[in-house]
A and B are shown apart, each in its own frame.
Chain A
């Protein structure tokens, strides 16, 4: 659906199935960024000239739109470079001084492991079962032994598409006086979000995985938590008053946005989310592609899938027995099919499964069953060459 909105597909041969890494951008997002640079390019939150006022207004409108998309209030959205920076910000400004232990799941992306390690926080890991679902009884046990910890878990696994039961995880975490961050990098384009209903304390997203630009994302935090967090970086436009002896700072979220922000990208982020909202039937479309891909893959000889779970969204990972995933990735690329092979920045779960990596198909609105058919044909050809 909507393929014509994405200029990259003027190359009609291109099959792009690496959407969990980054999505393609619709013209409307590119136009918005171009509009900023060609009509009102200026810095935000400074001075009082008309161009600056327009840029500031657009920038703050974006914050409001993103908050609305996630069903939270505007001043609970902090702009970051992306999910990775959002997690690093939290680790540095909140978790390292208030918690000893961080509880993660085995499915986590490196971006949800390393920020905690860098601050020498003790890490507890919730195991997953044979279908890669979090084992809730193990989670409960960890919570019992580590009340008052910080929890950070992915909403959707970037490597295997598992959708975690966020509401349940949050409820259980709160029962043990924990605070919880959900890594929403893969979920933004695949789930209708209602963060107040989920009752998460923090939620991190990246624009570029949801049809928006690279270099921008957001950290949602409950306002009372943002208020008690330490500063992250110092710089322009986050201050109330500066003296050589002491300085005072603006309220959240502005105090966490030091220096000139990626203004065009912030504006593009809003357009991307509005575009998702306008696209009816998006999640059903992606779900049907995933079902179709799974059915077709199961027809292949020597296919290895890693989960039979139904709660899967956005991507599917597999291997062909006896063939290296990297060889498949290269040969598919030569047939104009772009997908991801490797460990998907999730080495711990790969090690648990005893593999070096997988072949991953990840879907977006512009993909079609025809893309999957072409992929299967290309896969068959690659396998014939490699046997």
Chain B
């Protein structure tokens, strides 16, 4: 998470990954990212937070803080964890609207088949879907809260 926009972050990551001429070096880097993923608190390693369709297990805990969305995740396979780390870097720390306005197909720039293929077994694709669903739901509840607050304000007059 950073001050960069989502698209800038994707572009930066794309440049980073393009530095590797050898595909195995690229995956070595992703494995390193996977090793660096902060451990997820045990309370979130439940079915509620489990991402469906993964060859390996991934748990995604999304939360909102001061209008922005944050994501933390855990998993049991290193490459999946590395890919998850990439998605967290891209999407964490942005508002629901910023996420919803970003076309997820932009991720194709990363040239990572595990992220861009949308097979039913693809957990990373499922995780992406969850990020967008959470953004949509939070956006709706923020709007509802805002309207509710506005209605209450209006009632005063």
Contacts and interface: CB of A to CB of B under 8 A. Distances in A.
B24 interface: yes
A43 B132 CA distance: 46
A335 B24 contact: yes
Given A326-B79, A330-B79, A341 B55 contact: yes
Contacts of A342: 55, 121
Interface string B72-85: 00001111100000
Given A341-B55, A356-B56, A357-B55, A327 B77 contact: yes
Interface in A342-357: 342, 356-357
Contacts of A357: 55
A326 B80 contact: yes
A331 B55 contact: no
Interface in B15-69: 23-24, 27-28, 31, 55-57
A186 B62 CA distance: 43
Interface residues of A, number: 16
Contacts of B76: 324, 356
Contact of B78 (A327, A329, A341): A327
Contacts of B137: none
Contacts of B57: 356
Given A324-B78, A326-B79, A386-B31, A334 B55 contact: no
Contacts of B109: none
Nearest to B121: A342
A382 to B, nearest CB: 9
**Binding site secondary structure of chain B:** helix
A71 interface: no
A268 to B, nearest CB: 25
B17 to A, nearest CB: 13
Contacts of A334: 23-24, 27
Contacts of A325: 55
B95 to A, nearest CB: 33
A327 B79 contact: yes
A330 B24 contact: no
Contacts of A327: 31, 56, 77-80
Given A327-B78, A330-B79, A385 B31 contact: yes
B86 to A, nearest CB: 14
A110 interface: no
A381 interface: yes
A386 B23 contact: no
A324 B24 contact: no
A122 to B, nearest CB: 28
Contact of B24 (A341, A356, A385): A385
Interface residues of B, number: 15
B55 A381 contact: no
Given A330-B114, A356-B56, A356-B57, A324 B27 contact: no
Nearest to B31: A385
Residue of A330, A335, A356, A381 contacting most chain B CB atoms (<10 Å):
A330
B113 to A, nearest CB: 9
Interface in A313-337: 324-327, 329-331, 334-335
Contacts of B121: 342
A109 to B, nearest CB: 16
A326 B24 contact: no
A137 B121 CA distance: 38
A204 B23 CA distance: 42
Nearest to B26: A334
Contacts of A335: 24
A335 B57 CA distance: 24
B129 to A, nearest CB: 19
Contacts of A385: 24, 27-28, 31
Contacts of B80: 326-327
A158 to B, nearest CB: 16
A137 to B, nearest CB: 37
A303 to B, nearest CB: 19
A322 to B, nearest CB: 11
Nearest to A330: B79
B78 A386 contact: yes
A341 B56 CA distance: 10
Contacts of B55: 325-326, 329, 341-342, 357
B83 to A, nearest CB: 10
Contacts of B79: 326-327, 330-331
A64 B80 CA distance: 49
A385 B55 CA distance: 19
Contacts of B78: 324, 327, 386
Interface of A: 324-327, 329-331, 334-335, 341-342, 356-357, 381, 385-386
Per CB-CB distance, the 5 closest pairs between chain A and chain B, nearest first, are A324-B77, A326-B55, A326-B56, A326-B77, A327-B77
Given A356-B57, A385-B24, A386-B31, 5 more contacts: A326-B56, A326-B79, A329-B55, A357-B55, A385-B31
27 contacts: A324-B56, A324-B76, A324-B77, A324-B78, A325-B55, A326-B56, A326-B77, A326-B79, A326-B80, A327-B31, A327-B56, A327-B77, A327-B79, A327-B80, A329-B55, A330-B79, A331-B24, A331-B27, A334-B23, A334-B27, A341-B55, A342-B55, A356-B56, A356-B57, A381-B24, A385-B24, A386-B31
